[in-house]
Amino acid sequence: MTRKSKRRPQSTNYGDLDDPQEGIKTTLSIVTSSLFHQPAPLTTSLPQNGRVPKLCDYKATVARKIVTAFEERVVDVEMGVVYSPLRLWNSSERRKVNLKDSNFTVRCICYYAIRKVLENYDPDEINYTITKLRRIALDATNMKRSDIAALGKQFYWFNECVSIYNAAAFKSVKGI
């Protein structure tokens, strides 16, 4: 007489199947991973709720996440959607969805610090927090918050960042 083995099947990459929370985490991880490989939409798209999605929780520096969001695409893991890059979120597009989120301005300020002030460093090597990147940008411009407020925060930082992006794109096309 042979005994049936009570041995559990070998583990797979799908997490512990007996633990529902672990299974959910694994599923979210797979969905999140696939979002990062999706290209940005062909037409300009912004979140309809008027809020900038959180920075994604994938293994990259804050600087890399901000550069990706500004130059390539914005990934909203919670909604499972990929939006246009921040550089395309001009004032008329933001007005259409009533986007007045201060996180948009903060991302622009950080992008300025990364691509203008810290331009000689690869974003993957910049291990600064959002707070530190904001401080670097503000110190580099020698501006106070009140000075920027007079210019219109979103308008000023967004235009500066788009100019930086366009100048870099022009240099790469020209081969400079």
Cβ–Cβ under 8 Å, residues 15 and 23: yes
Predicted confidence pLDDT, tens digits, the chain (176 residues): 555 545 444 444 444 445 555 544 444 444 556 777 788 888 899 999 989 999 877 789 999 999 999 999 999 988 889 999 999 999 999 999 998 878 998 999 999 999 999 999 999 999 999 999 999 998 888 766 666 666 566 678 899 999 999 998 888 776 65
Rounded to a whole number, what is the distance in angstroms from the first to the last CA of the chain? 79
- Residue 81 phi/psi, 5-degree rounding, is -130, 150
**C-alpha of 145 from chain center:** 24
Task: Read off the tokens for 162.
Answer: 């788009």
What is the amino acid identity at position 109?
I
Gap between the Cα atoms of 129 and 146, Å rounded: 23
**CA distances in angstroms from 132 to 89, 109, 149, 153, 173, listed in the order given:** 24, 11, 20, 18, 32
Residue 97 DSSP symbol: T
pTM attached to this predicted model = 0.76
Residues 6+ apart with CB under 8 A from 22: 15, 16
